[in-house]
Amino acid sequence: MVQILTGNEHDIGGLKVRRVLPNAGRRSVGPFVFFDHIGPHRFEPGVGIDVRPHPHIGLATVTFLWEGVLRHRDSLGSVQDIRPGDVNWMTAGRGIVHSERTPDAERASGHTMHGLQTWVALPKAHEEAEPAFTHHPAASLPVIERPGLRMVVVAGDAFGERAPVEVFSRTLYVSIELEAGTELQLPDEHAERALYPVQGEVELDGGDRSHRLDLNHMAVLDAGTTPVLRANAPARVMLLGGDPLDGPRAMWWNFVASSRDRIEAAKARWEDGGFGEVPGEREFIPLPDR
């Protein structure tokens, strides 16, 4: 009924995150090729996140927070704080550079950070798209409320609603909050689907058997099934997926592409300074040795 994916811890600018995709057991779920669970982590006063300027190609980054604030800056000149419930969607396309840092006020006072950063691979027809950045405040996202249940459609379409976030292929990305004892049947309207519980106790009932879903593990659902998600305690779960990729993707550092040649060209371009700069930031991260 499900394939379980576990993650590994990585450090991003002073914060440990759990990376579930890419995974040895599965490279992608729908268009999602990268899935980082950030926190929850409490920063003491004077401490914060500093992800220095770095490049991307061939993907879109999607940032969604439950707690905390991050300031996004990019080589287009965008400067945007993202707060809980908002969506930052950055289309890298042929190439973009961005940084993410804790704003001064939160760094000075101390704060908690909890959220997700994911990458979706762009379809081959859009790999060389012009880079772009859009911010969608929480109030602009569709909310579905039922007794004991609240769902926010973060990107794509789900449960009869569609988010205003521009996507390049059919996408499923929903934040689900359930009270204890609440059930939700998951429709089979998307080709690939996965659940990622971040809080509480949940199980999946497929009819012939139930499967407890552990926190911070991704459960990839079988296609065509309509299992029931049940909360045994107040819970928060992310539902993600969509149409499968239109072919395999190569991933190296922050680059995603349908060919190795594109990645090699991006490596040379970064070393030669061809990606541009984030205004006001002069730090440079060399290509990793790996």
pLDDT at 170 over 90: yes
pLDDT at 134 over 90: yes
Q: Quick count: other Cβ atoms within 10 Å of Cβ 250?
A: 15
DSSP element (H, E) containing 181:
none
Cβ 37 vs Cβ 198: under 8 Å: yes
What is the predicted pLDDT for the residue at 178?
98
CA distance 101 to 47: 11
Q: To the nearest whole number, what is the mean pLDDT of the chain?
A: 95
User: Stretch 76-101: mean pLDDT, rounded?
Assistant: 98
What is the predicted pLDDT for the residue at 207?
65
Closest CA to 262 of 279, 247, 280, 283: 247
- pTM of the predicted structure, to 2 decimals: 0.96
CA distance 165 to 133: 11
What is the predicted pLDDT for the residue at 89?
98
pLDDT at 209 over 90: no
Closest CA to 163 of 145, 175, 150: 175
pLDDT at 190 over 80: yes
Give me the half-sphere count of Cα atoms (radius 13 Å) on the Cβ side of residue 59: 27
* Helix extents (H) in the chain: 104-109, 260-271
